[in-house]
Amino acid sequence: MVNGAQSLAGVPVIAIDGPSASGKGTIAAAVAADLRYHYLDSGALYRIVGLVATRAGLNLDQDLEVSSIFLNLKIKFKSSRIWVNAEDVSDAIRGEQAGEAASRVAALPSVRQGLVGLQHGFRQHPGLVADGRDMGSVIFPDARLKIYLTASPEERAKRRYKQLIAKGSSANMTDILQDIQARDFRDSHRSAAPLLQEADAHYIDSTALSIERVVAEVLDLYDQVQRV
């Protein structure tokens, strides 16, 4: 058991952190596919907690109340879908409301603590690409490569607007921009694991870069650290 734990601790991790709608998910999934590594979308876990707590009518700012849902929460990732108990929540957690609820419950220390073991469980051979806000700072501080990926708030709002329209949802640019700015503020000003750029993280501003360019840059940086 100790040997197993030790060998998993040696499994390489690429941590990609950054603000909401910075493209982390797209980039992390593409890098993971290229390397044939596992992929952890840690934001999905906070979205699940936000969704379940909202449905249960809990106070989203009450640590003990919200963290009580862990007693009954079985989360399963399978074939790019996410299941909670017997329900496929993949689409439900992507809504703006779940995102807003996620940002609130993510500020609660017991919720963050309750998700640590689950996130560590994704560290499996041959490697892991993990995206979120605290992948490089708290969950995988020994990550072999740390990236801080961002883009201007206006560019991120534009990307989210396009996504929503493509899905057939209605969207308003001014509302989206305000929402992104409010979420940025909450994610980076909370006391528990705030979003920040680690000193050893590589900064990438994707405002004027294509997805392919950013993926290539991350793979190139990873190549460089592998060679050291």
In whole angstroms, the minimum distance from the beta carbon of 4 to ligand DC comes to 25
Task: Report how far residue 160's alpha carbon sits from residue 175's, in angstroms, rounded to the nearest whole number.
Answer: 11
Whole-angstrom distance, CA of residue 32 vs CA of residue 215: 10
Q: Which regions of 75-151 does DSSP assign to beta strands (E)?
A: 75-78, 81-84, 87-88, 128-132, 145-150
- Residues numbered 178 to 207 that lie near ligand DC (CB under 6 A) are 183, 187
- Return the residue matching tokens 């952190």: 17
Alpha-helix residue ranges (DSSP H) falling in the chain: 2-9, 24-35, 42-55, 63-67, 96-105, 109-114, 116-120, 153-166, 173-189, 211-227
Taking the least distance from each CB to ligand DC, the nearer of 12 and 23 is 23
Q: Does 54 bind ligand DC (CB under 6 A)?
A: no
Which of 38, 47, 146, 159 touches ligand DC (CB under 6 A)? Answer: 47
Residue 146 interacts with ligand DC (CB under 6 A)? no
**CB of 91 vs ligand DC, minimal distance in Å:** 14
- Residues numbered 70 to 109 that lie near ligand DC (CB under 6 A) are 99, 102-103, 106
**Binding residues for ligand DC (CB under 6 A):** 20, 42-43, 46-47, 99, 102-103, 106, 132-134, 183, 187
